[in-house]
Structures are given as C-alpha cells and as structure tokens.
Structure 1
Amino acid sequence: MAAPSPIERVTLPIQIADRLRADILAGLYPGGAQLLEAELALTFGVSRGPLREAMQRLVQEGLLRSAPHRGVFVTEVDEDDLLDVFFVRETLETAAIRKICSEGRQGIVADALTEIAERMDRALKGGDTAAGGDLDFEFHRTLVDAAESDRLSRTYATVQAETRLCLHRLMGGYRSSKDLAEEHFRLAKAIRSQDIGAIETELQQHLSNPARYLRKAGGTAFS
C-alpha cells in the first residue's frame, strides 16, 4: 500500500494572499491604487514579513505590479489586456488538449468535464450565476490539470486570476449566458470524439473574441 501524501500546510502568507486576492477581485482596491505595507499589516493584524511574501505572490499572478522605488500597485487592465489573457488561455488549453490526446486519455477527461457541465447547468437553471461562474473556471482548470503538467497548471492558475481581474474590472463581475452550460457540454463532447481538429475548433469558438461580449450593453458571459 502506498504511503499517503503529506497534507500541505496553509501558511500565513498563503492565507493573506487569499484574503488580499479576494479583496482585489471584490473591488475594494481600485486599479492603480497603491497598497501600503504598514496599513495592510495593521488591517490584517500581521507582521510585514508574511504580508510582503503574500504581495509578491499576487505580483507573480499579475494582480499586483511592483514599481521599483515606488511601491506595489493594483494592476490596471483594459480591453487589450482582456484580449491578451484570452489569447494566452487558448494557447495553454490547446497545449493541454494535445497532450491529453497524445496520451489517449480523452474519455476520462471528457467524463470529468461533463460532470462539471452538468453541475453548471443545474446551477444556472436554478438562477445561481455565481456558482455557474465558479464551475466555468473549474471546468477549464480541470481540463488543463488533466494534462498532468505542473508547470502548465501553475501558468494557467496565473492566467485564470488575471481573467477574474479583467471580468471584475471591465464588466463589474461574472455574467452568465443562458447557453453557457451547453457550450461546455459541446466542448466535452468534442474531447470525447478524439478528433483533435474538432476539439480545437470548439475551443476557439468558445474563447473567441471576448471583447465583442464586453461591448454588448447587456453582456453575456465568457469563461
């Protein structure tokens, strides 16, 4: 019997990063705002050491930017950033799909993605758009993680954080379209088909031109 894996400890810097990330995405700190260590340390009731480490994590995620001799600021985003984030997402997800297909694991991955799409469908039909949005992110993270590449997953986690930032800054939050679950069902079905051309086409359609949605007055979601 294999020895159990050790449980990862949630360190104080990670807890601070989680709290600060949530506050940034909730709009408590506007784009361009400077974050002062002394004030944050007092607010969170922590010392500057773990706070500084937490802030560096968010710099690596793209949520904060560090300006030498000036300080740390909340990242500002515009439509160009949105387009670039989705370009990188498509690149990473395509790489994940190709690796999954090369290893013949499409069926297993499609099963996992279909289950998430079913939960998404139930959430959206029940009017829970917040849960639907979270499941949207879970779907794509599961797809990338299925490639079983730690480096790819780490890179994608950063891009997802930037996606959330763009959604909150440019759209005021996540907006769910009524056919969002159906799009994910189609992508899972394409993966099951084992036709890599069809899979990549479906992914491109799913992630295509997010700025078009941004310009629509009512706004429909993109993941």
Structure 2
Amino acid sequence: MAAKESGTPKVRKRTLSSVVTSQMRQRIVDGTFPPGSQLNEVELARRFATSRGPVREGMQRLVQEGLLVSEPHRGMFVPLLDESDIADLYYARAAVERAAMLRLVDQGVTAATVANLEQALGEMAAAIEREDWGAVATSDLRFHELIVDASGSPRLSRMYAALAGESRLAINILVGSYDGRTDYLEEHAKIFELLVAGNRSGLLGELSRHLQTGQDTATKNSRGAVADSAAAVRDTTT
C-alpha cells in the first residue's frame, strides 16, 4: 500500500528562492543590511534556514535590481551610492518621468489615476503626521510610480521598475532630512495639481525642481554615509 502523502506540500525551489529574495530585499530597503555591508551566502542560508542555492539565486536577482553589487574576489555588497551614482540615478529618473508625464498630459488623466494619486498623497500626509519616515519614502516612490504606470507605456514602466531598487536606496539617504520639512507634501501636491490641469511647462518645471532638491539633499547626506562606511572598514582592518 502506497505511503500516505503528507498534508504539507513541499515548497518548490523557485518559490523558496522568491521568498528568500523578498526577505533580503526588505532587509536592504529597511536598513537591516546597511549600505556598504557585505552579505555572506553561508550566513544568509543559515539565517533563512535554507540551502545556499536559493540565497545565491536571490543575490543574483538583487544584483539585477541594483540592490546588490558583485565585486570580483571580494563578494556581494549593499551599494553605497556616491555623488556620481546619485546624479546618474536622478538623471535617469527625470528622463523616464518627463516622458511619462508628457504622454499622460496628452492623453488626459483618468478618474482612476486621480483617485490613485490622491490616495498616495493621503498616505504620505498620514505618514508625515505620525513621523513615520520610512512610510513617507514608500508613499513617495509609489506616487511617482503611479504616474509612470498611468502613461500606458509598458516600456517606460519597465525602465522605471529597473530603477526602483536604487531609487529606494537614494530615498533612504533622504529619510533623515524629512523631519521638519513641511513643504515635502506640498511639492507632490503641486505636481499632482499641474498634472491634472494639463500644465505642461509648469509640470516639467516643478518636476525638475523636485528631483533636483532630492538629488542635492541625497548627495549632501551621502558624503557623510561614505565617510562613515570608510571609517567602519578601517576599524575592521586595524
């Protein structure tokens, strides 16, 4: 007589890899694995109680997302964005967001898009009210992502999704600057108003100012982060 199958199905390798990837991604995004830190495959496999295969697959996926970098003969590291990285990231974001906004203005903003953006602004306002700066960062990225997706261009959406990981790392650098910024919500509300009104020139000007402010602040804050990381490396080698 055949043995009775267990009521708990085995987790497929692909599914397990996805779970491990999600866990690593979350820890990078929330700062548990801080910028500049090295991730060890064996230690992560032990942490997640799995074999090294799913961890290795997850690491490769996060390299593609820009949340890890592979350094030959050294290993895998959480990126520490420097001034040139931040400038290039915001340059790429601006190119995609401008194209999406212009297309969206030309085709008209739907009621569904208006509702989605209002919800994102409401979530941002609530997060600012309770001083939950991580949630502010999440709603910030969500607001911009909604605009790109609303343009109806799958290619722009894919391009923007490819920037999502590094964008979150850059916004994490900004988190410390959110406290006391009463104009942060106002910047996004202004972009929303100009978008709905179809004001092309005003919209592009406001987007440019918004992204430049983010780039300047992230660049300033990253200098301290790079210095702190360099000091930490020196401490571990002395």
Q: Which residue of 1 aligns with 2:80?
A: 76
Are 2:182 and 1:178 aligned?
Answer: yes
* Residue of 7, 15, 18 corresponding to 2:22: 18
Does the C-alpha gap of structure 1 residues 124 and 210 become closer, same or farther in structure 2, counting only changes over 3 Å?
A: closer
Q: Which residue of 2 aligns with 1:87?
A: 91
* Residue of 31, 38, 59 corresponding to 1:34: 38
User: Unpaired segments of 5 or more residues in structure 1?
Assistant: 1-9, 217-223
Q: CA separation in 2, counterparts of 1:131 and 1:55?
A: 25
Q: CA separation in 2, counterparts of 1:127 and 1:210?
A: 19
Q: CA separation in 2, counterparts of 1:35 and 1:52?
A: 11
- Residue correspondence of structure 1 range 1-223 to structure 2 within 5 A: 11-68=15-72, 70-105=74-109, 108-168=112-172, 170=173, 175-176=178-179, 177-214=181-218, 215=220
Q: Are the aligned partners of 1:167 and 1:174 in contact in 2 as well (CA < 8 Å)?
A: no
Q: Which residue of 2 aligns with 1:4?
A: none
Give, in angstroms, the shift of residue 142 of structure 1: 0.9
Q: CA separation in 2, counterparts of 1:108 and 1:175?
A: 29
Q: Are the aligned partners of 2:137 and 2:175 in contact in 1 as well (CA < 8 Å)?
A: no
Give, in angstroms, the shift of residue 132 of structure 1: 2.6
- Give the TM-score normalised by structure 2: 0.74
Moved more, 129-138 or 139-148: 129-138
Render the CA deviation track for 1:174-223: whole Å, top value 9, x for unaligned: 7352221111111111011112222211211111143432438xxxxxxx
Using the aligned pairs only, state the percent identity: 37
Letter in 2 for 1:175: Y
Q: CA separation in 2, counterparts of 1:36 and 1:129?
A: 29
Quick check: which one's helix share is greater? 2
Q: CA separation in 1, counterparts of 2:203 and 2:17?
A: 39
- Give the TM-score normalised by structure 1: 0.79
Q: Are the aligned partners of 1:116 and 1:139 in contact in 2 as well (CA < 8 Å)?
A: yes
Q: Are the aligned partners of 1:33 and 1:74 in contact in 2 as well (CA < 8 Å)?
A: yes
User: Unpaired segments of 5 or more residues in structure 2?
Assistant: 1-13, 222-238
Letter in 1 for 2:143: F
How many corresponding residue pairs?
206
Q: CA separation in 2, counterparts of 1:167 and 1:122?
A: 18
Q: Are the aligned partners of 1:110 and 1:189 in contact in 2 as well (CA < 8 Å)?
A: no
Letter in 1 for 2:205: T
Does the C-alpha gap of structure 1 residues 109 and 201 become closer, same or farther in structure 2, counting only changes over 3 Å?
A: farther
Q: Which residue of 2 aligns with 1:220?
A: none
